[in-house]
Each structure stands twice: as C-alpha cells, then as structure tokens.
Structure 1
Amino acid sequence: MRFPLRLKFFVFAVLLAVGPLALVGQNLTQLSRDELKSAANEDLTTVAAQLRTAFDNTFEGRWLTPLVVIRNGVDSNELGVPQKVSLLTLGLAELPQVVALQLSVEGSDLPILVTNTTFADKLTHAGLDPVEILATSPDLIKVFEGTGQFGLPVVSRVPETGDWLATLALPLTTQIAGRQVTMAAKIELSTLGDMVRRHPFAQRGEITIVDQAGRRVLGDEPDLLIKRQIVASTMPLIVAGARADALEPYVRPNGMAMLGAYAFPDWFQWAVITELSEENAYAVVNAITRQILVVGLIGFAIAAVGALIFARQLTRPILAIGEVAEKVGEGDFAARVEDVRARDEIGDLARRINQMIAHLGERMELMKFVSHGTMSAIQKAEAEGMERGGERRRISVIFTDIRGYTEFSERVPPEVVIEVLNQYFDVQADIVTEYGGDVDKFIGDALVAVFEGEGMELRAVECAVGITQAMARLLEEHPEHNLHVGIGVASGEVVMGAMGARDRMDFTVLGSTVNLSARLCSKAEPDQVLVDQATRDAARGQNGVHFDMLEPIPLKGYADPVSAFSATRS
C-alpha cells in the first residue's frame, strides 16, 4: 500500500501538535533560562576577551612597535644629538597618541624632551607645567632599569584634565658622553577609553577596567571598587601576573545579583570586567513562557493545513535545484535557485547551492586579481591547503612608477584617473607577459613584476625598456596626460612564498633585492630605467640592450652609494 508523502507529513504534524503542551512549556522555559545564562556568560567572556585583545593589539601595534622603530633609529652612533632630536620630533608627529618622547642620559637631570604641542597647550590651559607632567623622572627610569620591565607601561592620571597617561621606557645601546641613554614615551590613553565607552555591550551591561589596587581606570574618576566581590577577586590575580579568564556570578552590596567575567591584558596591569544583571539577562524568559501556549494553540490549528502545503511544495525546490546544477555544469554561474523560502534542510540546501555558485563565480573572478605565481602555488598545494612560509629563489624584480600621476589625478575626474591608470597598466602587464615575467602586484600607480629562469636579467631589462618606449608612445597619443614612467630593476636572492595572517595571505616576494629595485625606481628620472650591478653584469653583452654607467647613487637604507646603470635600446 502506497503511503503518500503528504499524508506522512499530516500525521506527523498532528501527533506533534497534540503533545503535552504543559510539559513542553515547562521544559522549554527551563531550557531557555539555561540557554540564556549560557549565552550571557559567553557574551560576557567574549566581550572581556575582545577588549583585552583590542588593548594589547592597540598598545603593541599602534604604539610599542612604532616606538621601538623610533628607538632603533635613534640608537645609532652616526647620529648626533640634533639628529636624534629631529628623529624624535618626526616620530612624535606620526603618532598622535604619543604626547611626549624623551632621551634621558644617566646621571643627568636635564633630559632631551619633545612634546605634542596640542597636548602641551591643553596642560598649559589647565594651569599645569607641560614639562613637569610629560617628563619622565630619573627615579622612574631607574625603576624600569632595576626591574628590567622595559616596554611595559606605567599608567597614571592627570587629575586636572582627567587624562590617563601610560609611561614606558626603552634602552639604547649607544651612549652619550659615555653614559647610558634611555628613551621614554608618554602615551595618552583616550583611545582605549573610547573602545570601552563605544562598545555595543556598554548599552546593555557594564564594562569596568580596574588596576591592581581595585581602582577604576580609563574613566572620569578613579573610583575604588574593592567592595565589589568580582573586583576583589581580580586584584591578587593582577598582582600575581595571572592571565586566566574567568566567570564569576556575585551579589553587589546593594543586593543586585550580577553575572560577571574578567580578562587580563598582557601589556597592562589591569582587569577587564564585564557585568550584566540577572534581571536583564533573564528578561525574555517570562515573555517566552507567555508565548508558549499561544504559539502551541496556533501551531495545532495550522499544523494540518501547513503539513499538506509543505508536502506539495517540498518537491518543487528539489527539481529547481537539479535544473540549476545542470546550468552550472554548463558554465552558467549566473544561475540561481529562485523562490525557495523554506526554512528547513531543503531551504538550507538551496541557499548553500546559491552560495556555492556565487563562490565559484567569485573564484573565477578572483583569478584575475592574483599573479600566475600565486595560482601555481595554490595548484601545487596539498589537500590541507596553502601554508605560510617561503623559499629562497634567485629572480629579477622590476618596479615601475608613473611620474606625474599625482598632478594628473588632481586635475581630472576620478573616473578618468581610473580609466587612464588601467590603460597604462594594461600596456605594462602585456609587455611583462611578453618577456616571460609575472605581475606580482599593483601598488597605487606602481607595478611590481618578477622574472625567473634562464636569461631572466636580460628579459627583465628588455621588458623595462619596452615599457618606457610604450609609455612614450602613449604620451604621443595623449600629450595632455603628461605621464611618464620611471623603472628600477634588480636581481638577486629573495624569499618567495605565502606570507601574512592565517586567514589572509599574499603570495609574494620579500628581500633586499625587492627593496633595491624599489629604491632604484624612486631615483629613476622620467622615462629612465635604472638597473643594479648584478643585473647589468648578467645582461651585458647581449643584443638589444645598452648600459651607461652612472655615478653611484645614495639610496635609503644603504650605508654606501649603490652602483647603478641606465639601460636603453642599443
């Protein structure tokens, strides 16, 4: 006897509808309460961890790392005191939150101090001495030296302005007059305070940052919160340097039951505490309970009709999915499963099919945005996918840069700028391909290409010269553009491979050869090709290219001037 699918759904729906609604309602209420508590705890933990990570990333990425770079620049025997001060001033201009940089010489009470003018004016208007506030005392520097905690911030507050400042110190290896030198910095922490205040969780819960003394930090007032049980629990953990996140429900002195969680930033002696009252966390449970009976009765009424309608519609999307799959097999990535609104496995399947088709189409388009080297690496990757890392290879690298682009982009509409830039890149990329090269990337108005294999140096130079000639022809066709090109070519060992984050990588080349090519490009005159010694030696004597020896060129990052040659068609 045949048992139709529609009848199966009808019987199944009726059996479900006549179940013990009271028992289901009670269980659902309890389950909802447990789930809400679990969700609230997860939310609390997630927010605390997010802010902890944001604090650490901001401190290390936006402040500490640039300060280490500045320290390394200052830490040179070749720089005199005026040059070191200039470097501090330039570094301060690039780091808005860093309000003071200081060089302290051991045994001297007169440091070299550079301050942020805007912040210094703010202190002056508040009746304070900027030097007194922004200078790092010798005693504090001795504390850093004694503990060895260089790079770790010490946080303080300026009561008159309400600003929170972090002080850190970095040692220098060079000396002034035979004495140890330390670079100190003061960082204004309003950025971290804004993260707390603007976090979406702050609209429905509380976010508090406390230090090892139980004092609120990054707020308007440094309140002592040690009467809160959760704050008291974090204080010994901060002092001990513990970094274990935890959940802690507790009751405040006013009797309010709270759910709380805390996390500890690596770079600050703080605890990030997130709290939510149980009343707010479980507010929806009562509403859910009231809706259970209503939903159950309505569900029973519509179960039979809905089951029959659903059964009839069940087969239609399956057939539609089959038709779309057939079109995709023929190469039509615009095909989609339409008019499938079911919120079940069939609906999920239809949406996943659409997502899969969209992803396939996107991947076909994304192939236009990666180099041939990247595609080859992906195709050679094993089943587990691409892994970060690289290998040494000897290649030739060319950097091209369009001269006059900035002036051109300022006097013509953006649409024209993009159109012309794409036209120039089309010509350059075609020439790179013609000479067996691979376009690695586009950087603004610059192109980077790599050449490997036999005769790569000659092919790279011929390509570069060919690009200058092609650009000259474009200039003849469009003199109003007034665009030229400068090119640098260098050969040598590089590291080639997948680099970046786990979820966002670039397959590219790194190394001194790449840097040398870029530096030569920056020094090239309009319509000039500059090549390094290695490229010229390998390509010299070949037909079609002539090299003119130039005066050694001083390049950024190189101690001595670098030998360079101008390449032209012979």
Structure 2
Amino acid sequence: MKFPLRLKFFVFASLLAVAPLVLVAQNLTRLTRDELRSAANEELTTVATQLRTEFDSTFRGRWLTPLMVIRNAIDSDALGVSQKISLLTLGLEELPQVVALQLSVQGSDLPILVTNESFSKRLVQNGLDPIETLTTSDDLISAIEGTGQFGRPLIAQISETGDWLATLALPLTSTIAGRQVTMAAKIDLSVLGQLVKRHPFAQRGEITVIDHAGRRVLGEQVELLTTRSIVSSALPLIVAGARADALEPYTRPDGSAMLGAYAFPDWFPWAVITELSEASAYAVSNAITRQILVVGLVGFAIASLGAMIFARQLTQPILSIGQVAERVRHGDFTARVENIRTGDEIADLARRFNQMIAQLGQRLELMKFVSEGTISAIRKADQDGISRGGERSSVSVIFTDIRGYTEFSERVAPEVVIEALNCYFEVQTGIVNRHHGDIDKFIGDALVAVFEGPDKEQRAVTCGVEITEAMTSLLEEYPEYNLHVGIGVASGEVVKGAIGARNRMDFTVLGSTVNLSARLCSKAAPEQVLVDQATMKAGQSKADLQFNQLAPIMLKGYSDPVQTYSALRHIQP
C-alpha cells in the first residue's frame, strides 16, 4: 500500500499536535466518567430503595392496617349480619383505593359483597359485570388459606380496563351460623403506578416494576421483559423470596449500554428496577469530551495546515524527481529535473539524477550498436569485466544481402543510400525480432542474425522467407531503387564469445556454420532463401514451409559440392 511522504509529514505533525491533547482528554474523561458512574449508581440504588419503601409503607399504612381494623371490628359475635355489612360499607367509604370488600362464609355460594360505586361503573362501561369481576372466589380463598398467605396480596390485571388489583384475604375468628368467615378485599393499585410515573427520576431514567415471571406490572399493558439481562438477574431473587438489592451494568438487545439497580418490596412479589442509559449518566463527561474535541479539531486544523505547507515545500522537489523518473521509464531521456532551489540534499539529489539520466541516454544509444548477445554477456560479466574467449553453441545463422546495392549507391546521393539502407534494415530487424532472433551485426548492405533455443531452424527459415516477402513489398513501394535481397541460412555449432583487444572487443559468432551461411547467401538469387541440409531437416516439420532440393553447388572453401535447398512459403492447393 502506497504511503506518500507528504501524507507521512501530515500524520506526524497531526500526531505531534493532537497526541498530548488526546492523552489529557482521555485521563480527564476517565476520571469524570468514574465520578459520574459512582453518582449514577448511588442515585439508581436510592430511587429503587425509596420506591420499595413507599410501596411497603403504602400497603401497610393505607390498606393492610385499616383493613385489619375493619376485620377486627367485624370479628365480633355480638354483631349481626346487617351490622357487619354496615361496617363493610363504612370501611369502603373511608378507603378510596379499596374497590370491593366481601365476607365469604364457608360452604356458601353467596358471599356478602360491597363494591366501590365509581369503579363498578367503569367496569360496566367496559362491558364487565362488577359482581363477577370483584368477587373473590372460594377457590382463591382456599388457596390463600392453604399456602398461609393471609394478609399477602395476590396481584392480577383486568385486561379490559388495564387496572391492576391486589386481592387480600383476612380470616375472622367469629362464625356465622357456625361456619368459618373470611374477609376479602380488592385494592386498586393505581396509586403505586402513580408513584412510579410521577417520580422525578422517571424524567431522565426508566423505572420498571416486574413480577416473578418477568412481566411489567402497574402499566396499562403487560410486557415480557426477560430479554433484558438485569431482569433475568432479578427473577431468581423474586422467586426465591430474597431481598438483596444490587447494581448491574448491562447492554440491552438493541445495543444500548445501561446502568441499572433493583430492590424488592417486602409485601409484593416484585422487583423495582431503575435504569439509566450511559449516555444520560455520562452527559457531563460527553459535554467535556465534545469541548475537548472542538479544541482538538482546531489544533488539528492548524497543525494540518502547517504540516501541508511544510510537506509541500519538502516533497515538491521529490515529486518532480518522481515525475522525471516516470518520463525516463517511458523512454524520454531528454527529461531533466528543473527549478530545484532548496540548496539542500534534495537539490544535490536532483543534480545527480540529471547526470544519471544523461549517462543512461548515452548508454541506451550505445546499446543500439551492439547485439543482444553482447548485452547478455555484459550482464553476466563479473567485476573484472568480460573475459576474452568463447564457448560452443548450437545456432542457426542467417545472412541477408541486398542485390543491386553497388549500382544503386553509385547512381544516387549518399544521403539517399543511407536512407534506403535504414529503411530496408528497419523492416528486416523487425522481422528478426518477431521471430526471437538476435542481430549480430550489419556489414555494409548485409545483415547477420543468430537464432538460438528450441525451433531455431524453423524460426530462422520463416524469418528469411518473410524478409523476402517484405523486400518484394518494398520493391513495389520503391521501384526506382531496384533493390532485391538474397538470403542464406545454415545451422550447426559455432564459437560464441568476445574477440579483440582488451580495450576494444567485438562479441560475435565464428565457425564453419557462419561461413556456410555467408556462402549460401552469396549464391542465392534475388528473393531466394538458400538453406543447408541440417536446416532443411530440422525445419521441414513446419507445415507452412516448403523446401525444394537444388543441385549441389560448389562453395568457396569447400572441396566437395554442397547440397542446398530453396525455402519458400508453402501454398495450400
């Protein structure tokens, strides 16, 4: 991944400006959050404990104690049934949250029931029968007696109205007609819901009262809250009847980070849970963080501006050098690094870079005058340079010679001769390169190329055939030149190496194969490719080549006639 120098300076300056501020802000924020967390935890615990106490005191003071007084007053053998009913009616008038009082006689299906008139009307408006709704059944009284829960409230909601009622049963010692009598009361718990709703903490946090099943109570709708981890923690304590208050940080299913506490009323099978989001708890800390962030951004902007100015002054010369290097990579050796006036190491680098480009340009021009074999030998040379000598190598050598060149050079200007030679050699060189040959040298109007590696014979012959075709096209384009080409191809072993003086050498190939190629070229007719027998045998497997056997010919330096072949492109019938 590229990481520009300008960006490095930018990051360095930014870190230098912002890092101390970040460290200070981090420590300050941590201390502030610790203090706020402690204060929030204390508030959560205090609110939960306060509501628990208010629930218990409300139940005992407003309902349980007055109801026991009424029970005690009714519990007299001297009172008749009518007097007992009058006491129930009077007690109901004095206790506005008590919506029903009844006396249940064991074995009787008709309890004595007194109901709150306004509450009964609400039930009627919602399509309910007040008598049926507010009557405490004998089964429920028996269940309370069986579990010994006399005086303990049983909580239920009237789904049609949303009201939460507590059912309370108190046994009487006196009897009616010799039968056990129990006083039952239905208590409207809306006053407890109002305590929760109107508590000041509810303006910034959340107060939830849950029962043993994890359901929200005292609300209009029953909601299951067991997905909250704090509810899951409190449920076992409700079921077990434990009353251990606790604090607990947790995360809600929606990802909200919360702080929570819970407390357990003595008279209700509930848990009072107080919750506060960390965002609210740490609001002051967040405000401080925002202020620090603003200051940090201002410092960052100033540092960034300074870093950009400084980085631009420092990196612009380097970028200029990079741009010139890119131009050189694409072959433009005239490019130079200019307008570097920093007077430092970068300016010295630019000067040396310009010198290097000039030397590379010179070397590139020199490379045009040597073969690929020479370049390869230079690359393989050790620190003492290229050693004179040679090594054997199996190659195919191709000689091309322009026919009519002497007459052409005598009748046209030297500039035209050079232009024509360059044109012809440009075409021939392109064909040699396309077939992966190496131009060994140019000798006047002749070209010498060497082919090595697999299929060298086929590539050399194909190259020769394509050169004759290209030269025919050039003759059509420049008929006034009247120039033709003859080509000889031979294959075999040669000696390849550096030959000459220590200070002036030529890297070339020598041997009978080279001589044979040259002799075949001298005997080739215009637009003819003559090949030796070794080349023909190796190249005849190529489908698009055709070899015609010729009569053996005498060649200079050979005592016996040499078998030759004419190579041309095979034409499909």
Q: TM-score, normalised by structure 1?
A: 0.47
Bigger Rg, which one: 2
